[in-house]
Amino acid sequence: MNTGRVDTTPPQIVLGTMDFGTRVDRERAFAVLDSFVDAGGRWLDTANCYSFWADPEGVGGASERVIGAWLRARPGAREAVRIATKVRQNPLVPGSWPGSAEGLSAPAVRKGVEESLRRLGVDHLDLLWAHAEDRAVPLQETVGAFGELADKGVALRIGAANHTAWRVERARSLAREQDVAPWTALQLRHSLLQPRPLTPVAEAGHRMLTAEDLDLAAAEGLTVWSYSSLLWGSYTRTDKPLPPAYDHPGTERVLAVLGAVADELSATRNQIVLAWLMRQGIHPIVGASRTDHVEEALAARHVRLDDEHMARFAAAR
């Protein structure tokens, strides 16, 4: 039985590269990548659709192209980093989303990965994500396509982003039936602050991490990644107010504890949030547009939250 590859390394800071090639130009992106690797960072997270909404051409691929150019300009860099990308959301018709978003049929997955490899200039991916569910395609077809790529070594590991826990478990069962590699990683939106319960978030396609997801991951030994980990800078920047869904009493209580713990440990609020996520075994993705963002984020690896700190946060939430 093919159980797939799992990641047994401690939680790491992942560099989110969504804005590379659009809001972050190539020169700045190269500087951020250099800083990340020089400081010991390993994982890069991108997607084939990044960032179609900010690209004048109306399609994705810019982020992968910038990473590919950086790899070509830095001999040996491929051995220093691990690359994760995603298929599912790239518009097939420029400017037409979600109507023309690629799906998760076997041909779509194969073509999406082939194009990602070409843009990145690599022969394999360290982790391939299914970016979102596609219920128009039989799940067993998607599972077979991902498993095939993993079994061929095109993707060393595979995972599901923005999927419900029951769909992930069903997919893993189907992989066992087909004797192909299963999804062994989850990627969902998560941070210290949480929106009001049952309140939809404004960002299309985002799915929040739930207790059920964490329960599944713990039971099955799955890796968990979180995106929007720092809520777009809202923990520290007055020009980045929290979205309306976070306007509830729990937010004030958590922020009070966050400020106190940051002072006690001589760390920034962002670093405490990242340390809180890693303390739970979660790999937080951090989007960075400047080298000082990278330095601040990676310094969170040295922040140690104890059981008492975690209990204070739990009580405040």
CA distance 249 to 310: 19
Which CATH number describes the domain made up of 14-316? Answer: 3.20.20.100
- Mean pLDDT computed over 87-106: 95
Burial code of 178-200, b = ≥16 C-beta within 10 A, e = fewer? Answer: eebbbbbbbbbbbbbbbbeeeee
CA distance 262 to 258: 6
Averaged confidence pLDDT in the chain: 96
pLDDT tens digits for range 196-214: 988 888 888 899 999 999 9
- The pLDDT of residue 278 is 98
Paired tokens of 208: 């929040």
Tokens 């799940």 label which residue?
139
| pLDDT > 70: percent of the chain | 100
> Within 13 Å of residue 62, how many CA atoms lie on the same side as its CB?
22
63, containing H or E segment? helix 62-73
pLDDT at 7 over 90: no
- The pLDDT of residue 175 is 98
- Mean pLDDT computed over 64-70: 98
CA distance 281 to 151: 27
Paired tokens of 4: 């797939």
Residue 5 binned pLDDT confidence (cut-offs 50, 70, 90)? confident
pLDDT at 1 over 80: no
Residue 310 binned pLDDT confidence (cut-offs 50, 70, 90)? very high
- Mean pLDDT computed over 152-178: 98
- Mean pLDDT computed over 77-106: 96
pLDDT at 8 over 80: no
Residue 105 near residue 141 (C-beta atoms within 8 A): yes
- Which residues lie below 8 Å from residue 198, measured CB to CB, with a gap of 6+? none
pLDDT tens digits for range 233-268: 999 999 999 999 999 999 999 999 999 999 999 999
Q: What angle do CA 67, 73, 75 make, to 5 degrees?
A: 105
pLDDT at 150 over 90: yes
Q: Where are the domains of the chain?
A: 14-316
Number of alpha helices (DSSP H) and beta strands (DSSP E) in the chain:
11, 8
CA distance 168 to 213: 9
pLDDT tens digits for range 24-35: 999 999 999 999
pLDDT at 77 over 90: yes
**SS3 of residue 83 by DSSP:** strand
Q: How many angstroms from the chain centroid is the CA of residue 50?
A: 12
- The pLDDT of residue 89 is 96
- The pLDDT of residue 69 is 98
| pLDDT > 90: percent of the chain | 94
Give the CA distances from residue 90 to residues 52, 102, 297, in Å, rounded to whole numbers and listed in that order.
7, 6, 29
